[in-house]
A and B are shown apart, each in its own frame.
Chain A
């Protein structure tokens, strides 16, 4: 089976930086697979995700041996065609929903626009579809949410709208960069459950980027651990938890607080 996305030997560098920010990353994602990319800040996980969608800042130089998506070579695809692909086939959800949503458009306008532009729908059709998706991401009252502006929603509701927007055109791959970091713990679990539901309903593959290995445990099929621009370990999730091979993975696992075991002592550090 050919993978949905295959990245080979990806490098990202910034001018005057001592080393490559992303240093030879290989990444494959199969259809309907949830892959987690885990690492600390500065490990290059976000840059890896952004380079797939050509979203890197203009100061960054990047090269790769190949990036294949659905049998297409993304490296040579002209910008015009690439723009068509982005949003329809590859969708992004970022950490901060408040700054990803357009503050001067209502939720309904933002959700309907891609349907009208990409699918040629009428407003009324788009509206119906937008409400379906808002219901799918478990927003309590879709009809009442449509005329609201982003600032009138809570962080969790904003992230649900972002997920609805990402799922709107039924992409094959969703790239979620720290989608739960800005949210409350109770809402985090709900958003993770929602990602699982989206995979089940729409059959999308998900690249989940996070610094927290705990967020990966319940939903990812496979985990890639990044450190200093390289992927240091890739393993199926259960295997990674049971027998982490790389010392960096072990360090990440031991850094996790365990609830109900009382206070830490500073002597164990």
Chain B
């Protein structure tokens, strides 16, 4: 479980996240939605320790054990708790898929960066889970967007962390890859009881595949709950400055958001 409390982040004098509180439960997919510039990527970066936090706590671990405050952990230790899947753009083309996924084992390597048979086995397993074992010898530069995204997911899985953060992984994927990727992520969350936080642009993808949705607007969490609770026409219209209609999905028990007119 990942618990974010009172998280405040600023770029210079500008507050980009204000007092954000969010709980990402193990075994669930929590979608983070919100308009461009709301702070979704900033939240992912702050939680993963790439940008400094002004205030707040980020704790991990089941309630039975003593929770860690992630903010105080150095990068190496933090990377054993939490893995990040960025967008698969501008990856260094020369590495092979195998080498790339093996880099997910970094937090467990000695100072020489030597890998063991166990590391190799975990890489194989991770590639298998995302159905990309046949890509192992290919160079990253030769992959399609969908393949690259799966490889980065495998790299995060090789990190063997209980928490997974994904930053708009479906933005560059076609319809087929969007659906298979989201099904893969949901399957991993449910079957391996990972706590998954995924920033998404596509509201209907979020509605369809997330167990829980948090709406971030102007650096503040405006609503969080099940898709039915969060995706109401009033809320979405206000957040996106666009009038929308919400109808029941034709064959799934989730809401479907449709823009109803021009601004």
Q: Do A and B come from one complex?
A: no
Q: Which A residues fall within an 8 A CB radius of B? A: none
